[in-house]
Structure 1
Amino acid sequence: MAESCGEQGKRIVVSLIPEVTLGSEDGRFILDLGAGGALFSRHRFGTQDYGGPIQFALTVGAGVPL
């Protein structure tokens, strides 16, 4: 959750993005995939208009343990 203060008052963004993590059997490579949604208390931030209070999000990540 993120909170921002400014000239227009407080705004809150809440997101829920479940992820699936896949990895190699030896643990040397990891891939994360996720899809979910976000809810904005206000969808206009300054001159940026996000088009509505409900947004969809996709995430992808890869990792190699050191």
Structure 2
Amino acid sequence: MAKEKSNYPEYAEHAASLERVGYIKDAAFAWQVAANYAVKPENRHWAESRSQFCEKWAWRYEKEAA
């Protein structure tokens, strides 16, 4: 029985690229999507943690912009 390939790396890379260009709110959502595709618990934990981090920073950026 062959192992199914995880789509997590593609989703995680997309989330990371959104962070790099400054789309923090979008990155938070993308990290949550990546977490849903993670097979390994450590990847799921990482993606959920990044999502929370981005949500916190997105809120701060919005507050400063107002």
Which bin holds the TM-score, normalised by the shorter protein? Answer: under 0.3
Structure 2 length as normaliser, TM-score? 0.27
Structure with the larger strand share? 1
Based on CA coordinates, which of the two structures has the bigger radius of gyration? 1
Structure 1 length as normaliser, TM-score? 0.27
Structure with the larger helix share? 2
